Amino acid sequence: MSEYNTLFEFDASWKVTQLVVTRALDEVQSGLLVTFAQEEQSITLAFEHIDDPQNIMELMDFQQVTVSEECNVERDFSTIKVELFCDSYAEFWCDAVTTKQIDS
């Protein structure tokens, strides 16, 4: 059974205020910039090489989002799991997640 290290967790008090899908012309996989905000605090995460972009719209109305890194794996791709708890469960995997500074 896989082990995971939780990197970020957002409950229903957080809202997504920005959702940007990116893709280079010569690439198949997409990237994603998501800004989560709560009162006066915000954090923007950049997800690289998303495996299943059809689930990203679930970010607009979630009860909980958990971003975890799969531990003790030999592969270097698709090791970040993003779990979306809403009316149902959804997830997508990506190669990396980083925090980004977004200019207002």
pLDDT at residue 103, as a whole number: 60
User: What are the mean pLDDT values of the chain's consecutive 10-residue runs (104 residues total)?
Assistant: 90 95 80 94 94 83 94 82 92 93 65
pLDDT at residue 1, as a whole number: 65
CA pair distance 50, 71, nearest whole angstrom? 18
pLDDT at residue 104, as a whole number: 54
pTM exceeds cut of 0.85: yes
Domain chopping of the chain, boundaries:
3-100
49 vs 11, 29, 42, 69, CA distance in Å?
24, 5, 23, 14
